[in-house]
């Protein structure tokens, strides 16, 4: 037992976390962590007393997760509605050990990007319980957007933007992709690419529907790996042509991974992200063999989940450095909802189902279970879920590590806790999880955001909605 009275007490610390087994992307050490005004101000042995003390014995102490790809309260077309806003979405995030989120301010075709950002600020203000930055979605790269709006927005802290090669309301032509990449090159921003070939998908979709193949399970068949592989290769070629780094988001399997490895081997700066759905779901979860009925809609996302061989390839690529980022791609559509997965009713063909699966709270535990099973190291876990996302999206060193000067965004992680995932225990507003019933070992027990305990011993403490702050992103560190 330590004698608290014997310790120096002149630090004016707000909080000390004692006996912390700290794990960062590169180091592992045992120390006390001193926190003042929301920042880590000391890492040392036997730090002086503070107003509040937490004993971290038996826990791993990790930097709070950075979820660099999630969708919250994103304006949707055609009567579709996201179930999570910034309050419920960030509540679920922090209960899953994530302390920073980066959702998307999405431009509509014909609309202004700046307007989209202002609207998105209004949606986040007063609602978020943890800190957040915004990516942009560029859906209509007019000369005004390319030459006026984007350069100003980059200066203002929006240094990453996503472009789509599919979805009618979002997709860019090859020429438009090149224009956006060129702006990123000149202003040192990062383009994230959704790589699937739109024409192949619409051709396959039409064929399937004409043959009466309309159930959710046919979604996967309308977007086979070759469609993703071709677009991935094309995006890489554009990046090479323009001479700019890109990041390919939500990579689903072997074929796209091969393209990315090939490009990385040629010395191109091609970064990549994958997500829990490509480790834990397969086409069978969409009911590939006709056994799930409409329930398969719960797992409809794009690119679609593939097969166990592809899952294996994704695990390997997480361990061998192909991927830099592991995100949730949380897309919160209710299942039993005419504004969600049942848009238009169950008789509608699969291409009406809003794409995406929820997963903001389960992202970290699902990957951590891979650490336990020897699929990747603990340092890789931290690198993929916190350190690299913070670096790549211009939030480091404030976020993504445990170091003096960083925000005190800290997770006390119980590596031995077994949890069977159940939607009834999650904190999002979505009426299902695609991971229902999966048992994982390892769970975030206590989570702090800027030094404030938000979750204690698994209990969400109901902090003030709106305490989360907007983060201006700096230049991506690639």
Residues near ligand URP (CB under 6 A) are: 71, 194, 250, 301-302, 329, 331, 355-356
Nearest approach, Cβ of 465 to ligand URP (angstroms)?
A: 25
* C-beta separation of 331 from 427 below 8 A: no
State the Cα–Cα distance between residues 407 and 367, nearest whole angstrom. Answer: 24
223 binds Zn ion (CB under 5 A): no
Q: Which stretch binds Zn ion (CB under 5 A): 150-158, 165-173, 193-201, 312-320?
A: 193-201
Nearest approach, Cβ of 430 to Zn ion (angstroms)?
A: 15
State the Cα–Cα distance between residues 299 and 305, nearest whole angstrom. Answer: 8
Distance of CA 25 to the CA centre of its chain: 18
Q: Mind spelling out the 3-state secondary structure of 58-122? A: CCEEEECEEECCECCCCCCCCCCCCCCCHHHHHHHHHHCCEEEECCEEECCCCCCHHHHHHHHHH
Nearest approach, Cβ of 71 to ligand URP (angstroms)?
A: 6
388 binds Zn ion (CB under 5 A): no
State the Cα–Cα distance between residues 448 and 412, nearest whole angstrom. Answer: 9
Site for Zn ion, residues 324 to 383, rule: CB under 5 A: 329
194 binds Zn ion (CB under 5 A): yes
Q: Produce one character per residue of 12-51: b if its CB has 16 or more CB atoms within 10 Å, e if not.
A: ebbbbbbbbbbbbbeeeeebbbbbbebbbbbbeeebbebe
End-to-end CA distance of the chain: 45
DSSP 238-297: HHHHHT--EEE-S--SHHHHHHHHHHHHTT--EEEEE-THHHH--GGGGTTTS-SGGGGG
Peptide bond into 140 cis (omega under 30): no
- Beta carbon nearer to Zn ion, 205 or 401: 205
Three-class SS state of 394: coil
How many residues at the interface with Zn ion, by CB under 5 A? Answer: 2
Q: Which stretch binds Zn ion (CB under 5 A): 28-36, 188-196, 279-287, 462-470?
A: 188-196
Binding track over 396-435 against Zn ion, x by CB under 5 A: ----------------------------------------
306 binds Zn ion (CB under 5 A): no
Residue 355 binds which entry of ligand URP, Zn ion, none, with Cβ cut-offs from 5 to 8 Å by kind?
Answer: ligand URP
Tokens of 247: 């990041």
Question: Hunting for tokens 């925000």 — which residue is that?
Answer: 407
- Beta carbon nearer to ligand URP, 109 or 373: 109
Nearest approach, Cβ of 104 to ligand URP (angstroms)?
A: 8
- Beta carbon nearer to Zn ion, 47 or 192: 192
171 binds Zn ion (CB under 5 A): no
Nearest approach, Cβ of 278 to ligand URP (angstroms)?
A: 11
Residue 301 binds which entry of ligand URP, Zn ion, none, with Cβ cut-offs from 5 to 8 Å by kind?
Answer: ligand URP
Nearest approach, Cβ of 106 to ligand URP (angstroms)?
A: 10
Q: Which residues contact Zn ion by CB under 5 A?
A: 194, 329
């Amino acid at each position: 037992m330590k004698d608290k009275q014997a310790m120096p007490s002149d630090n004016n610390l707000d909080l000390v976390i004692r006996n912390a087994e700290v794990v960062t992307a590169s180091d592992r050490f045992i120390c006390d962590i001193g926190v003042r005004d929301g920042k880590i101000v000391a890492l040392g042995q036997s730090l002086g007393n503070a107003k509040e003390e937490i004993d971290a014995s038996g826990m791993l102490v990790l930097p709070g997760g950075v979820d660099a790809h999630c969708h919250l309260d994103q304006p949707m077309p055609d009567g579709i509605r996201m179930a999570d806003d910034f309050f419920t979405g960030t509540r679920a995030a922090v209960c899953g050990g994530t302390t920073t989120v980066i959702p998307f301010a999405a431009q509509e075709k014909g609309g202004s990007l700046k307007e989209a950002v202002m609207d998105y600020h209004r949606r986040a203000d007063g609602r978020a319980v943890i800190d957040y930055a915004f990516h942009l979605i560029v859906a209509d790269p007019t000369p005004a957007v390319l030459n006026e709006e984007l350069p100003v927005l980059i200066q203002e802290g929006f240094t990453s933007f996503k472009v789509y090669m599919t979805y009618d309301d979002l997709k860019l032509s090859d020429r438009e992709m090149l224009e956006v990449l060129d702006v990123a090159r000149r202003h040192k921003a990062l383009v994230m690419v959704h790589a699937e070939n739109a024409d192949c998908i619409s051709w396959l979709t039409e064929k399937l529907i004409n043959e009466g193949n309309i159930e959710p399970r046919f979604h996967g068949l309308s977007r086979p790996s070759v469609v993703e592989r071709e677009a991935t290769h094309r995006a890489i070629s554009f990046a090479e042509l323009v001479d700019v780094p890109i990041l390919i988001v939500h990579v689903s399997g072997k074929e796209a991974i091969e393209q990315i490895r090939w490009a990385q081997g040629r010395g191109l700066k091609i970064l990549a992200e994958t997500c829990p759905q490509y480790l834990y779901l397969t086409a069978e979860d969409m009911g590939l063999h006709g056994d799930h009925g409409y329930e398969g809609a719960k797992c409809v996302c794009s690119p679609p989940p593939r097969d166990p061989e592809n899952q294996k390839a994704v695990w390997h690529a997480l361990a061998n450095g192909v991927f830099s980022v592991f995100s949730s791609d949380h897309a919160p559509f209710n299942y039993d909802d005419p504004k969600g997965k049942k848009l238009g009713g169950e008789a509608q063909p699969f291409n009406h189902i809003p794409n995406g699966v929820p997963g903001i709270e389960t992202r970290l535990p699902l990957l951590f279970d891979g650490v336990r099973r020897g699929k990747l190291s603990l340092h890789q876990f931290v690198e993929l879920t916190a350190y690299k996302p913070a670096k790549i999206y211009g939030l480091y060193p404030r976020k993504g590590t445990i170091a003096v000067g960083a925000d005190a965004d800290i997770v006390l992680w119980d590596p031995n806790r077994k949890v069977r995932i159940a939607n009834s225990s999650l904190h999002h507003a979505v009426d299902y999880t695609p991971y229902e019933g999966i048992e994982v070992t390892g769970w975030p027990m206590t989570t702090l955001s800027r030094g404030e305990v938000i979750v204690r011993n698994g209990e969400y403490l109901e902090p003030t909605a709106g305490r989360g702050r907007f983060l201006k992103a700096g230049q991506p560190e690639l």
